[in-house]
Each structure stands twice: as C-alpha cells, then as structure tokens.
Structure 1
Amino acid sequence: MKQTYLSLATALLLSLNGFCQQHSEQKHDKYIWPKDELVRQKLGHWQDVKFGLLMHWGTYSERGIVESWSLCPEDEGWCERKGPTADNWYEYKKGYEALQTTFNPVKFNPDRWADAAQKAGMKYVIFTTKHHDGFCMFDTKQTDYKITSTKTPFSTNPRSNVTKEILQAFRGKDFMVGTYFSKPDWHNEHYWKPYFPPKDRNVNYNPKKYPDEWSKFKDFTYNQIQELMTDYGPVDILWLDGGWVRPFSSIDTSVSWQRTIPFDQDIDMARIAEMARQKQPGLLVVDRTVSGEFENYVTPEQQIPDHYMPIPWETCMTMGDSWSYIPKENFKSARKLVQTLVDVVAKNGNMLLNIAPGPDGEWHEEAYQRLTQIGNWLQTNGESIYNTKPLAPYRQEKWAFTSNEKITYATYLPADSETQLPTEVTLPVLPTKTVTILGSKQPLKWKKSGHSIIVTIPEPVRSQLASQPAWVFKMS
C-alpha cells in the first residue's frame, strides 16, 4: 500500500490510474466462489460483520515515512527518498534497515486498541505481520530481520512478539482476526538477489533463468506463512499484499501497473492455501488483485465501487492521509467515515479502516476520538449495518438501502451543510406500515406518492437528532 499525500500533478495521474484499477476491481466475472463449505460459512460471517480495522506498523514509523516504498527504485511520488543518504540507494537501504536497532515502541498496548475498536463497532482486524521491506513483526525463524531479534531494543519486552499479542487481544474481544503478509520481500536475498541492483518493485532476476533462487524464495514464503498459521492461535483471514508476485498468466493488461510485471512470479498459492487451511480450517485467503480461486474477496484500495457488486468485497481505506504513521495526520471527519461505511454496506461491501501506530507504539489521540464518534453513531444505528443485505436501488442520490428480514432501512446521507433533517423527505420505496427514525421511538406520518412515500418529520424529532452523520429510517 502507498502513502496518499501527493502533489496535485501526481494525484491527478494516480486518479487516472486509480480509475483503471477501480474499473478492473469492479469486474466480477472472474470471481470464483469457494467450494469448501467451511470457507463459505466464514465468508458469510465476514460479510455480516461489515466493519474492520487495518494497521500498518513497522520500523518505518520511526521516520514518519511511507511504509517500505522509499526502498523501491521507481520514479514515483510514493517512492521518494529523503534525508542525507537519499542520493545513494545502497546507503539509504543500509540506514533504513538499521532502524531495526532503534525500534522500541514502549507504549505498545494492544488491549487499548482492541477496546477502542470494539467500542467503535469494529468486528475484525487485519495486522501487518510483514510489509514489502521484509521486517517481520512476529517471531519468525526464517530471518533475523524481525522485532524479536536481539538487534531490536524491543526484543527484551515481554510483549515483543507483537503479532501474537495483537491477535490475542482482539480475539479476546470476539473479533475475527487476520494477518496481512507481503508476498514480495525486499530484504530477502532470494527476491532481491545481491548480485543484481533492483530496478523496480519486482524480483530483480529472471526466476526461469535462476530456478534455484526462486525455489528458495518460495520455500521462505511458505515457511513464514506456515509459522503464522501454526503459532498464533485461530486465524480467520490470510490477507496477502504485493499483487505483482503472481503467475504471469494472471496479469490483467487493462491495469497499468500489472503491464509492467516483467517475470512470472508464481509462488504456488495452491500449496500455500492447502497448508494454511489444514492449520486453519475455513481460512479466508485474500490474494489481492489476483483474480480466481485464492481471492475469496476483492479489495479496492482507497476507493468505493460506483455500484452494487454481487461478490464479496472490501474497501480498505485510511482514516487519515497515510497508511503508515506520520507525525501530523489529517484525519477524515466522523461524518465522512460514517457515510463511507453506509455507502460501502449498501453496495454489498465491508469497510476496513486503517490506523497507523507510531514509533512509540501508540495511535494519535485523534484516532481514538474518531472511533468514539463512529461508535456512538453505530450504537444507535448499527442494526441498519450489521447482518444486513443491500436492497435495490442500493444507492440513490442521498439514500442508501439495506434490509434485515422484514425490515427495510433507508439511510439519509446529508451534505456537510445539513445539520437537521428536512421537514419532509421522499423515500423511493414501496409503501409500508410503520416508519420511524433510529434514535427516536415516535412513529412518523407518511403518505403514498406514486412508487414513493413522503414522510413528515416533526420538529421535536428533527431537534433531538440534529448534527448526526446520517439518519436511518426504519420501515417494518
């Protein structure tokens, strides 16, 4: 994943690339429903919980820079290097990897995170066990480039195996838990072979020409995922990033970044998934952007499809501007975040909201405030979100529609300037018996108008529910 604070020109270019990427991710003709009944059951449960937490965290938080990408020798805005060694890639990489020797997040307290996420109404968590830079936030036996190494000051902390601590804390709050894992590894000598200078994000040699090297990398990847599936308790989701590591035959040439993949980088997902599900029956495997059997749900990044999609999908999105920690964040408003969740759910998706811990092991306090505000709204209106299904017309102007058995929910998404509901609203739905607004028990008067109903909202209700991010009409 990439940082999102960019120059205007870069942002415009990315928006055009993003349009192509989004267009690709909205095509669902290649989606394959899982055949394993346990996987199907877990996928159904995941679709019911709707709202999750993603955390990008690693040594890069010490510098407050984009996660991993400054190591990538591509001429892109999110790969920019800064600092006294920026002009020398080799020296820069050496200094970046030396962050391991100073990383000491002494305020690490996953119980506080789990408590805040639960009160916000989140129901699942995905944690970055390893990003593209290869630094492992778990106690792997495959490399010493890890948080539990004696080279890392935090290794003396009894909670140094942060992946285990995080999954345990969230599991204790009845969350579904998942492990983010980067398929590429820019620290591993069998991915970026030291003999060759890397040219871009991809493997820096031709795997067909050096099959032994690639075989060693495949085994390394398999062994690390096996550790995560074996030593960390029940795991619900294996969330794989770095979609350029894929079979050459799976490249979608309509997506610009996929056209630049030079080699077949097949890591044998069938072997990995079989092993992982032997360890974790029913495991959801999310091989991001690689359509087919091992992408149990699709993951548009920082984007929301413009229409309902009949397949399982999840928007992964930052609470602020950045996937990784930056000292001064620009957090989205609670209104924006709530309305985004409503929009996503009405189109049949889940929302995975990213918050980035800092080098001391804490979130920005403002992130906690946003979670409290979201939780306050969901405490009253959550029945329109959880365990619901989208209902046609799904999204229409300011309206979003969901249903739960015999109950229909129509959520009004106000503009920023609207602090109160109008005195009348027109709902483009069939007539009903009873209409109320969640947060008020007073039945509302309504009348039929063609294929719609006109609902009158009395002044006491408008005042009582003023300044909400969204208002939910309940029709039974």
Structure 2
Amino acid sequence: MNTKKMILAVVFFTMVSSNLLFSQRQTWSETKEQKAQRMEWWTNDRFGMFIHWGIYALPARHEWVQLYEKIPAAEYKKYFDHFNPDLYDPKEWAAKAKKAGMKYVVLTTKHHDGFCLWDTQYTDYKVTNTPYGKDLIKPFVDAFRAEGIRIGFYYSLIDWHHPHFAFDRGHPPVPTDPEERKKENAKRDMNIYRQYMKDQLRELLTQFGQIDELFMDFSYPGEGGKGHKDWDSEGLARLARELQPQIIINNRMDLDHTDWGWDYITPEQFMPQEWPTVNGERVPWETCQTFSGSWGYYRDQYTWKSTHQLIVMLIETVSKGGNLLLNVGPTARGVFDDRANERLDGIGKWMRFHDRSIYGCTQAPDEYQTPQNCLLTYNPETHRLYIHVLEWPFKSLHLPGLKDKIEYVQLLHDASEIKFHSRTQSGSHTVETSRENDVILTLPVERPNHDVPVIEIFLK
C-alpha cells in the first residue's frame, strides 16, 4: 500500500472510530424491563432521608438566605469562616434514619451558594478550608453504608459563588440594570463553569464508591434563566451514566426531551392528586418534603408538620405509586433539631409495626375500591392489600366488591384476626346488611393505639 492510501486508511479508521465513540457517548439505551430492574431497589424501598446541610445552617434563616436577603459575597463569607460542626457524628445520623425506616439517603454535596462538603480539588470554597478542616462526605458515606442505607448525592447546578456562573434572574446580588448585567456577564465564561461541574461530578462519582441516586438541582429555562444548554445537561447525564451505570437520576436538568436523561420525576412540597404521568404513561416519582417550610436548618420556623401528618404523607405517597424523600436540616454544630428527632422517632415507632405496608408496595389495582376515610397500598409480590384507616369506624368497615376474594384478615401491628362476612339478608334491626359482593370487616370498638392503624388482607 502506498503512502497516500495508508494516510487515507488511517484517516478513515480514525473518523469511523470517533463516530462510533461519539454515538456510544450520545446514547443510553435500555428496555423498559431493564430500567425497571435497575430501579427495583428504589421502587421497593419507598422511603428516604434528604439532608440539606451547609454554611447556611449558621444564619439559620433558610438555605436560600443569601439570595432572599441579598447578602454580598464578602458578608456571606463570615459563615464560611465560622463553620465548625464539632458535634457531627454521621453514625448517629445513620442510626436515626434506619430507626425511622428510611432505606436511602440523599446529601447536599453542594448547594446553590457553592459551598462544598468534600475536599474537592477544583475550588477553595470547601469544608476543608473552614475551621472544621475535615471532609464531611467520606465518613457520612461509610456510616450510612454500615447501616445498609443506600447513598444518593445532591448537586446544585446553580452556584452563586463561582466567578464564571453567569448572572441571571435568580442570583444574589443580581445587577438590576440589563446593560450592567450584560457587562458583568461578559467577564464570565460558562464554558469554564460547565467544565467545573463535570470535574466535580467526576470526583463525587469516583471517590466514594457506588452512588445509587443522583439528584441534580435545578433548571429554570426561559428568558433570564438557565436550561439544559446552559448546563450541558446531556454531557452531565452521560458522564454520570458512564461512571455509575446503575445510578438513578432525577428530572431537574431540563432533559424532558430525552428518554434517557432522567429516571424519575420530583414533585416538591405538594402531593400529586394521582400517580403522575408523562405522555399519558405512569412514571416513577418521588416527592421531596420538609418537616417545616425550609430545607436547611431554620431556628425560628414554626410551621412544623406533626408526626401524624408525616405518616399519612408517606402512606398517601405509596398509595399513588411513589417514594417519599423526607428532609432534615442539621444545625451548624452537626446535630438534628429536637423537633426533627421527635418526628423521626414517631415515624420509626409506626414503621416498626407497619413497614410491610410500605416496602414493596404500590398503588392498589383499580378493582380494589378504597373504603371511606382510608388509604390503600398493595404488594404485588405477596398479593396482600393494606387498608390504612385514617378515621377509626365503629364496629364495621365495608369493602366494596371483595366477596370471595379474601383468604384471611388481620390487624398488622399485632397480627390479631379480623373476622369478616358478607350478608345480604334483612329482617332484624340488629343484622347489618351490605350490597351484593361487598365484605364487612368486624372491627374492635376501641381504636388501636397507633397513629394510623393498618389492616392486612391476604387475598386469594
């Protein structure tokens, strides 16, 4: 082969190889069955702990305090200079999460203020340069893994500290004059910031072992905002999937136009009316919720949900086929607020006796109608139906359409039998009647001493 042909052959081979590599990098292909298998642990576990923690725990006035109060960077630095969580004990955190029945955890590795909880090599704005002086994430990961809790990382796409993150409509302090903002942004290069995110994501997904869930937060496309092109979201998602092929990724990178860039949707601080759908098809979903109105530690906030509200929230989420990610905002000394501890203990007490109505459960098939003042969950593997009784009725609970479908019934907390029958006869003022095909459960008059009593039905 002459020299010219050799050169052409090499060029052709290089082009083909490059195109193949590019094609491989562009795609993430799996069947619905493969995706369901990848997400099986997540849809089984149903209940996780969210942890928002950073230097915003020092002002203790919301994790967005820098934006809400328009605090200049020079003034905000005092929280960096005084961050010293001397009581931080991740083993204690992990034990509390496990006792509450939480099966996975998601930690804010970097929030919108740009402060990093690990010893990243790409910025000085990190915990190892604070008075505390030590990495927070490695001991955290080790402690939670030791309790059998899966690990998730939150990473903010927003960064109010980075010098190349372009000013937009949600940046503290934002130049209000459009020309001034344009002039300031001319000094900023989002290409540098995009590479910064990839470099940090690579650190997070290579330095701490298997990471099970990635929570990227968040996009706000449109005029004055940022979307997938600003983040290079496809590049971030490809990188995550290359480094951790088993990882589960949320939907906040503005990749709704793809079928591979996200795995589940994330309604926040509200309860969907029904199982959410995308293009008419039910999709995996997880609602993230707080004990109170903020995510970070907020000393003077008094809108705390009761333990009962939180338990009902968990049940309702599972009854609609979803997961609950419940947030704790530790204090600046590294401990959980007493109000959070009280509620975690209460949830754990309920979960100890009722967790099998949560784990492995989902929305009940349409053929099972929900009785009044109740919520239903269903385990398709064990073929059991769980009735969560929100208001305890007197003596009887009517179950529509379940005649000849029930094998056995019991209260879940103590496995005590509940008798059932189906009567259609009438004629005595003491005989309870029911509609055809209905079943009547005969309940104890006294309500069980649990936040939400659960009836377990073994179906034929």
Would you say the 8 A contact 1:38–1:282 is kept in 2?
A: no
Which whole-Å CA distance do the structure 2 matches of 1:49 and 1:199 have between them? 45
Which whole-Å CA distance do the structure 2 matches of 1:311 and 1:113 have between them? 31
How far apart are 1:145 and its partner, in Å? 0.6
Does residue 173 of structure 1 match 2:147?
A: yes
Which whole-Å CA distance do the structure 2 matches of 1:382 and 1:264 have between them? 39
Does residue 95 of structure 1 match 2:75?
A: yes
The runs of 5 or more residues in structure 2 that have no matched partner are: 1-27, 277-281, 423-434
Q: Which amino acid in 1 is paired with 2:43? A: Q
Which whole-Å CA distance do the structure 2 matches of 1:443 and 1:234 have between them? 44
Would you say the 8 A contact 1:297–1:314 is kept in 2?
A: yes
Per the alignment, residue 120 of structure 1 pairs with 100
How far apart are 1:406 and its partner, in Å? 4.6
Which whole-Å CA distance do the structure 2 matches of 1:407 and 1:64 have between them? 47
Per the alignment, residue 237 of structure 2 pairs with 273
1:126-275, aligned counterparts within 5 Å? 126-149=106-129, 152-155=130-133, 160-192=134-166, 198-199=174-175, 213-244=189-220, 251=221, 261=225, 265-275=229-239
Residues 326 and 441 (structure 1 numbering): CA distance in 2 closer, same or farther, change over 3 Å? same
How far apart are 1:166 and its partner, in Å? 1.3
Would you say the 8 A contact 2:175–2:181 is kept in 1?
A: no
The runs of 5 or more residues in structure 1 that have no matched partner are: 1-31, 73-78, 82-88, 245-250, 252-257
How far apart are 1:163 and its partner, in Å? 1.7
Residues 413 and 323 (structure 1 numbering): CA distance in 2 closer, same or farther, change over 3 Å? farther
How far apart are 1:384 and its partner, in Å? 1.2
Between 1 and 2, higher relative CO (CA 8 Å, sep ≥ 6) is seen in 1
Would you say the 8 A contact 2:61–2:300 is kept in 1?
A: no
1:374 aligned residue (338, 344, 347): 347
Does residue 354 of structure 1 match 2:327?
A: yes
Residues 260 and 399 (structure 1 numbering): CA distance in 2 closer, same or farther, change over 3 Å? farther
Which digits, 9 at most, give the CA deviation of each residue in 1:154-205, with x for residues without a partner?
Answer: 00xxxx21122212211111111111000011101111469x97358x9x96
Residues 456 and 193 (structure 1 numbering): CA distance in 2 closer, same or farther, change over 3 Å? closer
Does residue 52 of structure 1 match 2:48?
A: yes
Residues 306 and 264 (structure 1 numbering): CA distance in 2 closer, same or farther, change over 3 Å? closer
TM-score (norm 1): 0.77
Residues 211 and 99 (structure 1 numbering): CA distance in 2 closer, same or farther, change over 3 Å? closer
2:267 aligned residue (300, 305, 323): 300
Which whole-Å CA distance do the structure 1 matches of 2:165 and 2:109 have between them? 18
Q: Which amino acid in 2 is paired with 1:332? A: K
How far apart are 1:413 and its partner, in Å? 3.8
Residues 422 and 321 (structure 1 numbering): CA distance in 2 closer, same or farther, change over 3 Å? farther
Identity %: 31
Aligned length in residues:
400
Give SS of 1:375's match: helix
Does residue 442 of structure 1 match 2:419?
A: no
Which whole-Å CA distance do the structure 1 matches of 2:76 and 2:369 have between them? 45
Would you say the 8 A contact 1:435–1:444 is kept in 2?
A: yes
TM-score (norm 2): 0.79
Q: CA RMSD in A?
A: 2.9
Does residue 336 of structure 1 match 2:309?
A: yes
